[in-house]
Structure 1
Amino acid sequence: MANVSVNELGFSPKQGVNWSNYLVYRPVYQTSFFKRIFDYHAEKPGATWTVGHDIGAGCGIVSFTLAIHFDSVIISDPNDGYVTLAKKLLIEEASLPESKFTFLQETAEETSVDSGTIDLIAACECIQWTNPKAAISEFSRQLKAGGTLAITYYARPLIDGNERVQNAWKGVWGAHSKKAQGEVFDRAFRTINTALENIEFPEGEWEAIKRVYINARGDVNAFVMNNLVDERKVKEKEEKIWVEDDEEWVGMKDIEWFKAYLATWVPYIPEAEMQDVWDELELALEGKKARIRTPVVMIFATRRA
């Protein structure tokens, strides 16, 4: 899908997102990412693979892989143009059968999906834009007993081995976060800054909760972007797993990549409005590439019978 050239409306109808750039500069969901999701689901006795639901699907990046494993896939997103674009990429460009998909322009918090009909829900890189409590309740309603919920989020990358570059890169994100103002962004930051630990799973509805932290160096502060905080709601019974040095989330990048990557985040800030911090990063890089490491959190939960 990364070779498809598209330029469609993105996160907000007021602000265009170049999906071609998104697909090129955002991390690719590699083999280990999907293996963790499907292994968790497959380990359960009687696991079924009838219907998967990609929530907050964007242009259908995760939907493509779900379609390989499930008989049918629901693709939903609340934003104008997203599901239309996903349909184009999956059916017209990837030549997958249209009969395999259902496309819905709906929110994570309230959908028309029938209760108790979904085997697996994937909510990738979207939970921060929701009301987490309402979304988790809705996910619970949709899933079959024993069904799987997979919530994932990758943070902005960190720089390894060069403190000056890391400090300059931190300055870029500091400038960006000052531009990201308003209730929606504040709520998103509170979720991001806790590494999704503000997401609560009521014990009467959920079991076998597993939180996997990748490339975080054993510290949830790897996900912190500013000083907005929220209450952490991880329960004692929940399993925590720390995975380090996952090379699928590591790379060597130059100044042009850093600029293009930031441009895929909302709100989009023209380079000229942050010229001082970009200049500092370019000086710190000294014309070289820096080693980036992306922290990732993946949460798995099972709907109680």
Structure 2
Amino acid sequence: MRPTTYHNLIALQRGSRLRLRQHHHPSLNISGCTSTGFQRCAIRAQAPGKTQARVRYFSSTATLREQQAEDSENFWRVSADDSQFWDDYVSTRPSYNTAFYNEIYAHHKAHSSKWEVAHDVGCGAGQVSAELASRFSHVVASDINDTHLAVAKRRLAPSFGPEHISFTHAMGEDLIKHHPPGSADLVAAAEAMVLMDETVALENFKRLLRPGGTLAFWFYGRPTFSDLKLRAQAQPLIDAIMVRNWSKVIRGSGERRIAGFKRAAEGMESWLDYVPLDPESWTDVRRIKWNTSATLPFFGEEACGFPIHPTSSVKAWEHTEEREDPEWWRNDWDIAELKRYFRVLFPGFKEAVGQGDEEINRMFQELETYFGGEGKVKQFTWPAVLVTATRK
């Protein structure tokens, strides 16, 4: 929820990427085929459980400037200079821990000895960029949202000079237009893949990477009570708040943006399994999922009001693994911190959370009783999925 960063779905993108902390979440910048800027997107559904052939009809007449204007007007209304918002935004994302990054680094080390250039695609506020800069000689932080780039530059400048981190204002699908083929050792995309045209993005990433280079993309979902009793009793309230907020945004959208929400919802519901990694281009594909008993999608059919069809492109030769870990990316929050999470999850929610929505206020009051009162802390974990692959 996108912390595509690609605009804030949730970013979506990414808090961890935004971080000088470690998490990623962009805001869901959903505009039809989002990060590509295409104007029309059609998806042909197929029976659940079967690989779905996605047919998209693109019209590339929408420019980056036009898309940004639409996103800014309808969704991203927060100035890069609003430091309080961005501090809250970063502090309420999950903190990617050392174990998580080590999954990526171990994969890379197994196939490459080069640690020169890494890309943080949909960088948001720059948290992932900061982490990658501790291991790679240079990091390219890119985002379609110029607000995100401005925030990332401000947050990263005290610690990193231009020789360590540079910035590219571009969609993930267009990075090859800005950087030479075979120039990257690692491409990372946190919370962003569901916002991109995965076919175009994967081709870009393949061309950017050197042979033996690593592709890593991941997504995390809703904050979830670690305690199973609380999860059964109180988690439905968090889910209901999420649905109520997202339904306001989604159901008030136009046809083009609805198509983008559908693509993102199906991608999240699929736990990124819908992303096909062609064995002609990729090897050692690994898909690791944490806490699959929790809910990964920030919004589904209940919020969208239209059918969602998860699909899978996982091949038999790929490594798949599920892990349950109540300590994963642990956050200890009181009710005020949970409210702060919702307030900055997505700028469009600011007016709804705790301000004028009686039903949401009622649900927060009920949640407070499960917390045990004001100031009482409960432990939260996160559902997440990480996909890594090596460029042949």
Aligned to 2:277, what secondary structure does the other structure show?
coil
Distance 2:344 2:197 in 1: 23
Two-structure CA RMSD over aligned residues (Å): 2.2
> Which has the larger share of strand?
1
Contact 1:22 1:264 in 2 (8 A): yes
The answer for the alignment partner of 1:193 in structure 2 is 269
Aligned to 1:98, what secondary structure does the other structure show?
coil
Matches for 1:274-285 after TM superposition, within 5 Å: 274-285=357-368
The answer for the alignment partner of 1:36 in structure 2 is 103
Distance 1:283 1:100 in 2: 48
Contact 1:194 1:223 in 2 (8 A): no
Distance 1:145 1:275 in 2: 56
Q: Offset of 1:277 from its aligned partner?
A: 3.2
Contact 1:206 1:303 in 2 (8 A): yes
Given candidates 6, 16, 20, the residue that maps to 2:87 is 20
Aligned to 2:345, what secondary structure does the other structure show?
coil
Q: Offset of 1:267 from its aligned partner?
A: 5.4
Distance 1:302 1:164 in 2: 42
Contact 2:292 2:324 in 1 (8 A): yes
The answer for the alignment partner of 1:6 in structure 2 is none
> Which segment drifts farther, 258-267 or 204-213?
258-267
Distance 2:90 2:128 in 1: 12
Aligned to 2:134, what secondary structure does the other structure show?
helix
Q: Offset of 1:24 from its aligned partner?
A: 1.0
- The 1:133/1:282 distance shift into structure 2, 3 A limit, reads farther
Aligned to 2:348, what secondary structure does the other structure show?
coil
Given candidates 158, 165, 169, the residue that maps to 2:234 is 165
Aligned to 1:68, what secondary structure does the other structure show?
coil
Q: Deviations over 1:281-303 (max 9, x none)?
A: 42143125443221111100111
- The 1:231/1:23 distance shift into structure 2, 3 A limit, reads same
Query: Please, what TM-score do these two structures have when normalized by structure 2?
Result: 0.70
* Structure 2: runs of 5 or more not aligned: 1-18, 22-26, 30-70, 79-84, 251-257, 302-307
* Structure 1: runs of 5 or more not aligned: 4-8
- The 1:291/1:151 distance shift into structure 2, 3 A limit, reads same
The answer for the alignment partner of 1:129 in structure 2 is 195
Aligned to 1:69, what secondary structure does the other structure show?
coil
The answer for the alignment partner of 2:14 in structure 1 is none
Aligned to 1:27, what secondary structure does the other structure show?
coil
Q: Determine whether 1:233 maps to 2:313.
A: yes
Distance 1:252 1:101 in 2: 32
The answer for the alignment partner of 1:297 in structure 2 is 385
Q: Determine whether 1:211 maps to 2:287.
A: yes
Given candidates 215, 222, 227, the residue that maps to 2:295 is 222
Aligned to 2:210, what secondary structure does the other structure show?
strand
Distance 1:267 1:235 in 2: 38
Aligned to 2:320, what secondary structure does the other structure show?
strand
Distance 2:331 2:164 in 1: 35
- Code of the residue aligned with 2:290 in structure 1: it is I
Q: Offset of 1:171 from its aligned partner?
A: 0.8
The answer for the alignment partner of 2:167 in structure 1 is 103
Contact 1:151 1:298 in 2 (8 A): yes
- The 1:128/1:238 distance shift into structure 2, 3 A limit, reads same
- Code of the residue aligned with 1:204 in structure 2: it is E
Aligned to 2:217, what secondary structure does the other structure show?
strand
> Which segment drifts farther, 176-185 or 106-115?
176-185
Contact 1:199 1:233 in 2 (8 A): yes
Q: Deviations over 1:73-115 (max 9, x none)?
A: 1111011222232222222x22x22222221100011121111
Contact 2:222 2:295 in 1 (8 A): no
Q: Offset of 1:262 from its aligned partner?
A: 1.6
